[in-house]
Amino acid sequence: MVAQAQYRKLSVRYHPDKCHEDASYLGDGEEGAKERFARIAEAYEALKETDGQLAFPWDQYPERQQLMPGSELIQTLGFLGFEAAQTDPIKAQFMQQVVKEATNCRVLLFEKETKEAERSVQETWADALCVDEQSGANHLVKVYRRIVTVAESVLTAAKADMEEVDD
């Protein structure tokens, strides 16, 4: 749906028969306008079947769907964003700005806990398609966190093994 709307907007704007006044700034006059229009049509053909569906499986998880503005998404997933900021502050700052500007976010939130004999694994991940209706920009944001907790007995045994190696 989004790809189709953008295609229509761009194809009307850059159609060779309609943009004679813009053709001069494209470099090659009418030929440049035809090339640009062909690139727009080619990109649409590549995207029209997927329109974000492969990267963002919204329809596959109706029980996990949440709709919210970007400001609310920052509050909801702030704990994941804070951890991302620790490892890559520049990407985190960019992501925060993109999400904050979004007027509509489709969010899929997943949480999973796995317990094994000697350890526990807690995973949290979120996929969000953030749309800024003012600029027309769409951004797919993916965040993942995995916490592994090891049983105290395993830690004690490992510490004893390390002390033996040190001696």
pLDDT-derived band at 91 (thresholds 50, 70, 90) equals: confident
Any domain includes 99 = yes
Are 77 and 7 part of one and the same domain?
Answer: no
Any domain includes 165 = no
Are 37 and 99 part of one and the same domain?
Answer: no
CA–CA distance, 5 with 52 (Å, rounded to integer) = 13
Any domain includes 16 = yes
**Residue range(s) defining the domain that contains residue 12:** 1-51
**Which pLDDT does position 155 carry in this prediction?**
76
Are 84 and 137 part of one and the same domain?
Answer: yes
Are 62 and 39 part of one and the same domain?
Answer: no
Are 71 and 127 part of one and the same domain?
Answer: yes
Give the chain's domain count: 2
Longest CA span, the chain: 83
pLDDT digits 0-9 by tens, 2-57:
667 777 788 788 777 776 554 444 455 566 778 888 888 877 776 665 544 556 78
Are 31 and 100 part of one and the same domain?
Answer: no
**Which pLDDT does position 24 carry in this prediction?**
47
CA–CA distance, 123 with 133 (Å, rounded to integer) = 32
Are 81 and 11 part of one and the same domain?
Answer: no
Q: Count Cα atoms within 13 angstroms, Cβ side, for 148.
A: 7
Q: Which residues neighbour 43 within 8 Å (Cβ) at sequence distance 6 or greater? A: 7
Distance set, CA 33 to CA 8, 10, 19, 166 (Å): 16, 12, 8, 73
Any domain includes 149 = no
pLDDT digits 0-9 by tens, 93-141:
888 888 888 999 999 988 899 988 888 888 888 888 888 888 888 888 8
Handedness of CA 19, 21, 22, 24 (dihedral sign): positive
